[in-house]
A and B are shown apart, each in its own frame.
Chain A
């Protein structure tokens, strides 16, 4: 340690130390000279002899300096300074390389910051966020319904593989007094929830054991809710709020970054699960083993693998299946990393992000190829300098290191630009607001991991594009380098190879860009099968309404039905509202529509290998009219107050085509677990889960017989006037059910656009990236051709002197370039096509994309090679011959 300190002190004063050393060696020499003179030598001879005795003092000094071990740093600093000067000597070229690298690194870092948020740190605001696992019972049909409160309590102490098993369930609450109710999203949690997550309150405290009971209902609220609703006032502690007509004491504020344990859903308040029957009077969810709504989470104990934990969990679940066949028959067990939560849209999200990252890495590779080519071009002009260095004794390793320093500086400059771009991109994403049934909060930052990622990418790029020029220059014959006119040994093949490779990589990215863009354009141009404009959507949820809860926790159907009937009657009288209806699902939602499980169509024998599948949406009469989905046959549902007509269904044309074929659909019966339904009508197909999807069968069931607790009120009005009727809808709801809050008020158009976010963002990115990449590719090709032409200028002069026309020369050069590019492009198409078929099985193969994009790239390549070729051909042959 002390030694290191002495080294550092020496380094700090190394200029002084070197002067000292020089002085004392000169002193030594002078004494030696005097000694020799005393022995009778002449002054002149003595001076020479003394110098010989001391040998090469410069080297002696260097060796003495080397002892302190700082030579590498001195060299590195000298290299860096020299590299900076070299880089700045060709500002345009350096700017292009740094900028293109920066963009490549920037988009990669931005995508990485999203992956980091979703996969590496899926639980925001806790320590070790990637260590949490979901403990998921899996039903016979393969769904993940969660566990019941009783089941959780049984499992909690039995599972030895986990540190602390905690559970939570989402619940909407109506917060506020009387008419002032607003919807807030909360979590019912087990008493060990916060300790299991390792959380400490930002303010106040968490529950004491006695508070987990209903005697003194106490809530913990989120930091954001505290800031928004209570202005961040610390006096809020021990104050009360009213939720679902119950008085709750606020006892703690959660730390700022924590937003709950349902991925990106943003929660406002946390309540002990034991309060469920207080908050939702009549519910039996705390006792009924079959009511599965809790998600279980935990960290694994040290040294326990996921597989071992899953095996243990499976054992217990098998035992439960024997003990409680009614609720647990056929149930399996799975332990999943938290980010793979099997509910919600994140499954596609994670894959989508990985695909995006892959594409961006290919883009970066293309950019690196480009940079390598540009730097090779510059390296060629420097071979004489390098030759001189080698001739005066620099080792090849030393020269290669000098060149790598240059690449590294360019790479790190690219990283810096990239980080700036990533910061801009993540803040742009932060400003995107979501309105969805559950509030969503998605924040990504450029943190140290993203920074590290960017620096690593920059370094990797430097190695990738710096190796070729460094090797080329440091290798080879010194004599050849020094000989005028020869330049470097022919590297044309390497440069052409790089050019072809770059073209192929660029093409893959451009194809991806075109596909993303096309998929987004589809969403704007394709007819969804319903009329998007002029519909206002308003969410409501009767789940928090006191006094109408059945023992299974659901709302009394009669109550739901009468609410819908009264509300719609009222709304239809409002001037400006053409029609109104309620639907349990809104099409093109990011969560997709629910499936109708195990149904049977009258007169059809089901193929057991591929069971019939259909989506389901629960709607009131008038829904199809409000959405402007035309009926192809039959009629709409019977009115809500009709009590005689049997339960009805409306199916779409795809349903008929698949399951009824040429028979008469109207009047046919559908049997399902929900009952028996008579088909009243056939609706035209429309899009349900995604714009551009192949037709999917759907069954609409009527609120008249199947009322739902929650849904969206659909109101049709004049396009553009949607938000004007929003207050009318609010008023009507308040009149029918005092204090019931509405939420997520938006137009149908906004709803669709919001849910297209994950198509829109990549489309926007690629709209900018695509042309930029083309531009960089053009610069790369231009530089390669210009360089090739410059080297062949004598040959061209000879050809032209022998009678070749300018046209011949240009055609020759452009043709040669295009041949190289075409090989790369062909390879690119092949790879892109193979990947596309695997990633999007059965996806449409758009010839305008798969042929048009390569055509554009070739056109750009032709233009980029035509320019330098043209200039060469314009030279006077005599002048051309005189060069060199």
Chain B
């Protein structure tokens, strides 16, 4: 429920996909994921930080990511998230479906 309230601009379920996508190029901690999304989307996608962590727990529960404590760039204890094999698979399927949906939406919009 928090996803829709905190970032009404995101389609439901998109946050999970974005996080998986952010982790596709290597493990990151929570702040890193948020920064990654912000930077890449040129500040368009502002992920509500407070909804980031429930989403990460959801991914942990589904075994799509793994969490491990490590050291950050400036030598502080940080929790890094890594994609698992099933997470990669999930990313592929979800990305495919997302592309299809975007295509469909575009078709509808261009038709008018």
The answer to whether B78 touches A64, judged by C-beta atoms less than 8 angstroms apart, is: no
- Note all chain B residues with C-beta closer than 8 A to A7: 61
B110 proximal to A (CB < 8 A): no
Q: Which of B18-26, B45-53, B87-95, B101-109 contacts A (4 or more CB under 8 A)?
A: B45-53
- Residues of B within 8 Å of A23, CB to CB, are 77, 79
Judged by a CB distance under 8 angstroms, whether B31 is at the interface is: yes
A68 touches B48 (CB 8 A): no
Q: Are B62 and A28 in contact (CB under 8 A)?
A: no
- Residues of B within 8 Å of A, CB-based: how many? 26
> Which of A20, A63, A64, A66 is packed against the most chain B CB atoms within 10 Å?
A64
Q: Are A67 and B31 in contact (CB under 8 A)?
A: no
Contact A32 B31 (CB under 8 A): yes
Interface size of A by Cβ–Cβ distance < 8 Å?
A: 29
Instruction: Check if A283 is an interface residue, CB within 8 A of chain B.
Output: no
The yes or no answer to B56 lying at the interface (CB within 8 A) is yes
Q: Which residues of B contact A6 (CB under 8 A)?
A: 60-61, 63
Q: CB distance A24 to B62 under 8 Å?
A: no
Are A60 and B54 interface neighbours, CB within 8 A? Answer: yes
With both chains docked as a complex, state the minimum distance between the C-beta of A11 and any C-beta of chain B, in angstroms. 12
Does B14 sit within 8 A of A, measured CB to CB? no
Residues A67 and B63 in contact in the complex (CB < 8 Å), given A27-B31, A27-B77, A54-B49: no
- What is the chain B residue whose CB lies nearest that of A50? B49
B2 at interface by CB-CB < 8 Å: yes
B30 (CB) vs chain A CBs: closest residue: A28
Of B56, B76, B77, the contact of A64 (CB 8 Å cutoff): B56
In the complex, what distance in Å separates the CA atom of A165 from the CA atom of B48? Answer: 76
Of A3, A7, A55, most buried by chain B (CB within 10 Å of CB) is A55
Which of chain A's residues 573-609 have a Cβ closer than 8 Å to chain B?
A: none
Check B79–A20 contact: CB distance below 8 A.
yes
Residues of chain B with a CB closer than 8 A to A32's CB:
31, 49
**Are the C-beta atoms of A68 and B61 separated by less than 8 Å?**
yes
B100 at the interface (CB under 8 A from A): no
Closest B residue, CB atoms, query A2 = B63
Contacting pair B50 A68 (CB below 8 A): no
Of all chain A residues, the one with the shortest Cβ separation from B76 is: A27
CA distance A32 to B33 in the complex (A): 13
Interface of A is mostly: helix
For residue A293, CB closer than 8 A to chain B, the reply is no
The interface residues of chain A lying within 8 Å CB-to-CB of B69 are: 20
The verdict on A25 contacting B53 (CB below 8 Å), with A2-B63, A6-B61 known, is yes
CB distance from A852 to the nearest CB of B (A): 66
- Once bound together, how far apart are the Cα atoms of A609 and B112, in whole Å? 96
Question: Which of B29, B57, B58, B60 neighbours the largest number of chain A CB atoms within 10 Å of its CB?
Answer: B57
Q: For B58, give the chain A residue with the smallest CB separation.
A: A67
The tally of CB-CB contacts under 8 A between chains A and B is 72
Q: Which single residue of chain A is at the shortest CB-CB distance from B46?
A: A53
Given A24-B79, A53-B49, A59-B50, answer yes or no on A67-B61 (Cβ-Cβ < 8 Å): yes
Specify which of B6, B48, B57 is in contact with A67 (CB 8 Å cutoff). B57
B contact residues around A65 at 8 Å (CB) = 57
The proximity string for B residues 63-83 relative to A, scoring 1 for CB distances below 8 Å and 0 otherwise, is 100010100100011110000
Question: For residues 35 through 83 of chain A, which have their beta carbon under 8 Å from a beta carbon of chain B?
Answer: 53-57, 59-61, 63-68
- In the assembled complex, A31 has its CB within 8 A of some CB on chain B: yes
Contact A63 to B54, CB < 8 A, known contacts A3-B61, A27-B29: yes
Closest to A5 in B: B63
Please, which residues of chain A bring their CB within 8 A of the CB of B63?
2-3, 6
Question: Cα distance A68–B63 when bound, in Å?
Answer: 12
Question: What distance in Å separates the Cβ of B55 from its nearest Cβ neighbour in chain A?
Answer: 8
0/1 string, B1-16, CB within 8 A of A gives 1: 0100010000000000
How many whole Å from A283's CB to the nearest CB in chain B? 78
Given contacts A7-B61, A53-B49, A64 and B31 within 8 Å (CB-CB): no
**A615 at the A/B interface (Cβ < 8 Å)?**
no
Nearest chain A CB to B47 CB, angstrom units: 11
Q: Find the B residue at minimum CB distance from A68.
A: B61
Docked CA distance A2–B61 (Å): 10
Per the bound structure, the CA–CA distance linking A23 and B79 in Å amounts to 9
Give the distance to chain A from B32, nearest Cβ to Cβ, in Å: 9
Option from A27, A28, A67 in Cβ contact (under 8 Å) with B54: A67
Residues of chain A within 8 A (CB-CB) of B48 are 55
Could you tell me the distance between the alpha carbons of A743 and B76 in the complex, rounded to whole angstroms?
Answer: 93
Which of chain B's residues have a CB closer than 8 A to the CB of A57?
A: 50
For the complex, what is the distance from the CA of A644 to the CA of B8, rounded to whole Å? 117
CA distance A28 to B76 in the complex (A): 11
> Counting CB contacts under 8 A, is A21 at the interface?
yes
Docked Cα-Cα span, A30 to B74, in Å, equals 12
* Chain A residues within 8 Å of B53, by CB: 21, 24-25, 60-61, 63-64
Inter-chain contact B50/A31, CB cutoff 8 Å? no
Q: A23-B77, A64-B56, A68-B57 are in contact. List 20 more A-B contacts (CB 8 A).
A: A3-B62, A7-B61, A10-B61, A23-B79, A24-B79, A27-B77, A27-B78, A27-B79, A28-B31, A28-B34, A30-B76, A31-B31, A32-B49, A53-B49, A54-B50, A56-B50, A59-B50, A60-B50, A60-B54, A67-B61
A-B contact pairs, 9 of them (CB 8 A): A6-B63, A10-B61, A20-B67, A27-B76, A54-B50, A55-B6, A55-B48, A60-B53, A64-B54
User: Interface residues, chain B, CB within 8 Å of chain A?
Assistant: 2, 6, 29-31, 34, 48-51, 53-54, 56-58, 60-63, 67, 69, 72, 76-79
